[in-house]
Amino acid sequence: MNISYFFFIILSVLAVASAIVTISTKHPIRSAIALVVHFFMLAGLYLTLNAQFVAVMQILVYAGAIMVLVVFVIMLLNLSKDQSFEKKITFNNFGGIVLAGTFGLAVIYAFINLHPEPTSFPSHNLNFTTVQVIGRSLFTNYIVQFEAIGLLLTAAIIGAVLLAKRKLM
Amino acid sequence: MLITNIPLEFYLVLSAILFVIGAVGVLTRRNAIIIFMSIEIMLNSVNLTFVSFSIYFGDTLGQLFVFFVMAIAAAEAAIGLAIVLALYRLKQTVFVDEVNLLKW
């Protein structure tokens, strides 16, 4: 039992628990708080994988930008007490749980049988996770995709403004 | 070089469990905002798979893909929440089963 197992187990248990809280609480704002915890736990898991750039991006984009949007919309909607609470979970929801559980069991079975014994990460050079290498690859080999992402984000901003505006003119 | 000695399967099984939790949220909840948060959980679990395979194979491409997925998720959140706002103005509700404008 060494230190990385300790970190992995704590982070993964907290990630699963906060995800369950996110989908099971009644009020949306509690889900939002639990989701922030979930994002931070995933950032910690990326750090155990030595992916520092992705961990920082996770906190900046998800816990920063997206959660501010979600909390802002919850505030703007100003849901009254009876509207923000849902009715009891019906029997129809049982089908959804069974469907997702079956899919999950199939995927977990496939993952576990990937190799006969557990595969450890090969100890090659970790230079490829630095921001320098990722940035160089982003601006040379994948420049078209990068520009397309910029175009898509611009279109998304214009679309969001148009959709949320009360009157267009 | 510090590298984790946790097996690859642990990360893959964890991301599968998180994906299933997100899918259960999408399939069972009726509040549109909570459905959005469940979709974010699913996208995050796929990101975890991408990053662990990227470290396993020693290739930068997996982390670039995570970068693009995050950009798409940001765009999707902006558009989706704008739709929820417009829907609330029209129907005074955020419950997806009370929205049946296209159902005859």
Task: Supply the pLDDT for residue A94.
Answer: 80
Q: Domain range holding B39?
A: 30-93
CA distance A35 to A28: 10
> In three state form, how does the secondary structure of A33-102 look?
HHHHHHHHHHHHHHHHCCCHHHHHHHHHHHHHHHHHHHHHHHHHHCCCHHHHCCCCCCCHHHHHHHHHHH
Range name among A23-37, A109-123, B44-58 with the lowest pLDDT average = A109-123
Q: Do B1 and A125 touch (CB under 8 A)?
A: yes
Residues B17-29 pLDDT 10s? 999 999 999 988 8
pLDDT tops 90 at residue A115: no
A33 has pLDDT over 70: yes
Q: Is B56 on the interface with A (CB under 8 A)?
A: yes
Q: Which residue has the tokens 């929440």?
A: B81
- Condensed to tens digits (0 to 9), the pLDDT of residues B25-66 reads 998 888 889 999 999 999 999 999 999 999 888 888 999 999
Q: Determine the residue of chain B that is closest to A113 in CA distance.
A: B9
What SS3 state is found at B18?
helix
CATH of the domain at B37: 1.10.287.3510
pLDDT exceeding 70 applies to what percent of chain A? 90
Best mutation site among A111, A131, A132 for testing chain B: the one with the most B CBs within 10 Å?
Answer: A111
For A1-79, CATH gives 1.20.120.1200
**Domain boundary assignment for chain A:** 1-79, 127-169
Q: Using pLDDT thresholds of 50, 70 and 90, give the confidence band for residue B1.
A: very low
Residue B98 within any structural domain of the chain: no
List, for residues A73-105, the tens digit of each pLDDT value. 888 887 765 554 555 556 667 888 888 888 888
Q: How many domains does chain B have?
A: 1
pLDDT at A111: 81
Contact A103 B23 (CB under 8 A): yes
